[in-house]
Amino acid sequence: MSEERLRLTAYHEAGHAVASWVVGLEMEGASIEPQGSSLGRVRFADMQHVDVYEEIMHRHLVSSYAGVKAVELCTGRATDPDDPNTDPRHRGSDWDAVMSLILSLADREESAQVALQERVEEKALCVLRENWHGVEAVAQALLRHRSLDSTDLLRILEDANCPRAKPVYEYKLNQLADCLWKLRHRYNALIEEGRQVEAQRVAAEQARVESKMQDLARLAER
């Protein structure tokens, strides 16, 4: 790999890493060591659960756009149409990931898909511009060490003062906890009013929410 190709790969992966950090995705590491047809990659701790919640998919979509956009910001040039990461025929490319997520999140209407792409692309660019110092820091660390683990990324991005969104699991658990609190109050009120049948229905819903919280907590611990 040429020095220039290596440098751009480092910025590409740094773009993914910074966007992932800012939107709250859990990363295991980043690398610019070639592997098969891949020149680099960011590994995600929760990738096996990407389709569990739409919020996770939205965040991965922002991250998927950020690699190509980081290189464009670095070079000041639009991405070459022949770049494998923008070629939908190239399995495993950024565009492959983008289209998979777009089809999962948007309506079948092409206009809805285009609108979602435009919103997410703008979000990715905004994240990168506001945290370019973090992109530079990660890219330089990748060029020095070739691979970074989650501890390295945490140190670099905290030192660069890149903001961190709540992880999706914590966000979802908070939502479910709020729902459970309301259901418990509703159940107690119904019992006091002697409305046993309705109370039983609320109790069943409580059990379902508690089960979801337990499942989510187990996912977060993996």
- Which residue range forms the structural domain that includes residue 184? 168-221
Please give the pLDDT value at position 90: 58
One domain for residues 65 and 111: yes
β-bridge partners, 35: 38
Q: How far apart are CA 57 and CA 59, in angstroms?
A: 5
- Cα distance between residue 57 and residue 66, in whole Å: 14
> Same domain, yes or no, for 55 and 85?
yes
Q: Give the residue from 138, 159, 180 where a domain finishes.
A: 159
Question: Residue 71 sits in a domain of what CATH number?
Answer: 1.20.58.760
My answer on whether 37 and 78 are in the same domain is yes
149 and 182 belong to one structural domain = no
Q: What is the pLDDT of residue 15?
A: 97
Residues 146 and 189 occupy one common structural domain: no
Edge-to-edge strand order for the sheet containing 27-31?
A: 41-44, 27-31, 147-149
CB atoms within 10 A of CB 79: 15
Do 8 and 80 reside in the same domain of the chain?
yes
Closest to 32 (Cα-Cα) out of 57, 72, 67, 62 = 67
End-to-end CA distance of the chain: 36
CA dihedral for 159, 165, 169, 21, sign (positive or negative)? negative
Residue 219: per-residue pLDDT: 59
| pLDDT computed for residue 157 by the predictor | 96
pLDDT of 220:
53
Is 182 in the same domain as 121?
Answer: no
Per-residue pLDDT for the chain (222 aa), expressed as one digit of tens each? Answer: 689 889 999 999 999 999 999 998 888 899 999 887 778 899 887 554 554 567 778 888 999 999 999 999 999 998 776 666 665 565 656 777 778 788 878 877 888 888 988 999 999 999 999 999 999 999 999 999 999 999 999 999 999 999 998 776 666 777 788 888 999 999 999 999 999 999 999 999 999 888 887 776 665 544
Q: Are residues 20 and 40 in the same domain?
A: yes
Residues 147 and 177 in one domain: no
Residues 75 and 178 in one domain: no
- If one counts the domains in the chain, the total is 2
Predicted structure pTM score = 0.72
